Amino acid sequence: MEKKYDVELRHIKKSFNGNTIVKDFSIQIERGEFISFLGPSGCGKTTTLNMIAGFLEADEGELLIKGRLMNGVPTYKRDLGMVFQTYSLFPHMTVFENIAYGLKLRKLLKDEIAVRVKKVLELVKLPQVQTRFPKQLSGGQRQRIAIARALVMEPSILLLDEPLSNLDAKLREELRDELKRLHKEIGVTTIFVTHDQEEALSLSDRIVVLSHGNIEQIGSPSDIYHRPATEFVHTFIGKTNRLDGTVKALDGNDLTIQTEDGLSIKARSKEKKFVSGEKVSTYMRPETIQLTMDPVGSVDVTTFSGIVKLVTFLGPITEYHISVGKHELIVRTQQPQRHFVEGAQVYGFCHTEDIMVVEENF
């Protein structure tokens, strides 16, 4: 018997005016999963969400919800809850009336409406605001009410289109924590669209990284960050250091790569086989590089010496810009007891398995 997923996209494609926005998008989403579509503007994430919602029809492919084919099925028959960037609350209605609006359209009894509105207000921790109007609420409170309005309909799927993007940094962090708590509490299958890496990494069971309508990688937050499948994923998620060079020596999966100015990089390639003389690009995340005041000698690490050019204190971490020959490397450390001052000579090292190697891409 074929398994029924909460949401399944099979080879979905969408174009506008001859420009392909979504190319062959396929995914299977389990019940209760929190999935994020992550990517830069124009990558196709919102277009895909709108096809799931029924606001757009796919040019090709199949869309299934709970095992039922949804191609051509209108939005109101898809049992979805939706929250957008803008709160879209009715300004002339109280909070209670805004949340109850959809239930009244379904002609539920007043007592049941009151019980369900009270329940979702408690879920979003705003039981005291039901008699207020939207203009009397803060931005964070309004977005919580928008979420409550979606949840009160008890949807099988919750769609969130960058719901935190209009909030300031502190409110975003608070509401992000609330979303995580809510999802854990109610377990509704959730699809979340964002361009914010931190939101996707902190909230998701799995992340779909998109670029120019293509799926670059689908994986857990840990896999996306620590084991990126493509060069795009590595450069898009978090900060990274890129050094270009030539393969000088091979020992199984271990490579020795030399930059133009003679810096030697030791890396390990588990996937692709490289050949001597091949031009490659290497990537090192700032937090995988460690700094010391003394030289380091080891066959399993890439080592370098350099001068501290810039020190930036970022609370729990300190970011250093290190001049190494013609290069400037970014290093992030959580060792407050080892504070390196600008102008100091330092030594750094990075383990071979923490360095990503790809064909050089100019």
Domains and CATH numbers, the chain: 7-236 (3.40.50.300), 241-359 (2.40.50.100)
Give CA–CA dist 257/266, Å, rounded: 6
From first to last of the 362 residues of the chain, give the pLDDT tens digit: 567 899 999 999 999 988 999 999 999 999 999 999 999 999 999 999 999 999 999 999 999 999 999 999 999 999 999 998 887 899 999 999 999 999 999 999 999 999 999 999 999 999 999 999 999 998 889 999 999 999 999 999 999 999 888 888 888 888 899 899 999 999 999 999 999 999 999 999 999 999 999 999 999 999 999 889 889 999 999 899 999 999 999 888 889 999 988 899 999 887 778 889 999 999 999 999 999 988 887 767 899 999 999 999 888 889 999 999 889 999 999 866 568 899 999 999 999 989 999 887 64
Predicted local distance difference test score (pLDDT) of residue 273: 83
Contact between 233 and 219 (Cβ < 8 Å): no
For residue 335, what are the contacts with CB-CB under 8 A and spacing of at least 6? none
For residue 100, the number of C-alpha atoms closer than 13 Å in the C-beta half-sphere is 20
- Cβ-count burial of 157 within 10 angstroms (0-12 exposed, 13-18 middle, 19+ buried)? buried
Amino acid at the residue 180: K
Task: Please state, in angstroms and rounded to a whole number, the distance separating the CA atoms of residues 230 and 234.
Answer: 7
A 10 A CB-CB count for 136 gives 12
pLDDT digits (tens, 9 = 90+) for 99-156: 999 999 999 999 999 999 999 999 999 999 999 999 999 888 999 999 999 999 999 9
How many CB atoms are located within 10 Å of the residue 275 CB?
7
- The Cα 68–Cα 57 span in angstroms is 16
Looking at residue 335, its pLDDT comes to: 67
Question: With contact defined as beta carbons under 8 Å apart, do 130 and 54 qualify?
Answer: no
Q: What is the C-alpha to C-alpha distance for residues 34 and 215, in angstroms, rounded to an integer?
A: 17
Q: Given this model, what pLDDT does residue 114 score?
A: 95
pTM exceeding 0.95: no
Predicted local distance difference test score (pLDDT) of residue 345? 94
Q: Rounded to whole angstroms, how far apart are CA atoms 349 and 347?
A: 7
Task: Give Cα 33 to chain centroid, integer Å.
Answer: 15
Instruction: Determine phi and psi for 285, rounding to 5 degrees.
Output: -75, 145
From residue 222, how far is each of 10, 12, 76, 197, 227 by CA, in Å? 26, 27, 36, 12, 7
Give the residue carrying structure tokens 């019980």: 115
